[in-house]
Amino acid sequence: MCTAQKVKTSVRRNKIQRMQQLDEEMRSREKNSYGAMKNQDERREQLLSAMHKSPLKQ
């Protein structure tokens, strides 16, 4: 009984830690993806301007 309760609390603690870890990972991923998206937008604009400047039409 006592050990089962200990196991339960440790499992709960592990769950909480895992959730916090996932949360942190998600946040860092969001930051990274935001930066990547900004870069992608800039790259897309560069590509579009290059396409407009080039005489070849697609």
The total of other beta-carbon atoms located within 10 Å of residue 28's CB is: 10
Q: Identify the pLDDT of residue 55.
A: 63
Q: Identify the pLDDT of residue 1.
A: 55
Question: What's the CA gap between 20 and 26, in Å, rounded?
Answer: 10
Residue found under tokens 């039409």: 57
Question: What's the CA gap between 24 and 31, in Å, rounded?
Answer: 11
| 45-57 tens-digit pLDDT | 988 888 787 665 5
User: Residue 56 — φ and ψ, nearest 5°?
Assistant: -70, 130
Question: What's the CA gap between 2 and 8, in Å, rounded?
Answer: 10
Under the banding of pLDDT at 50, 70 and 90, the label for residue 3 is confident
Residue found under tokens 């790259």: 43
| 7-53 tens-digit pLDDT | 888 989 999 999 999 999 988 888 877 777 788 888 889 888 887 87
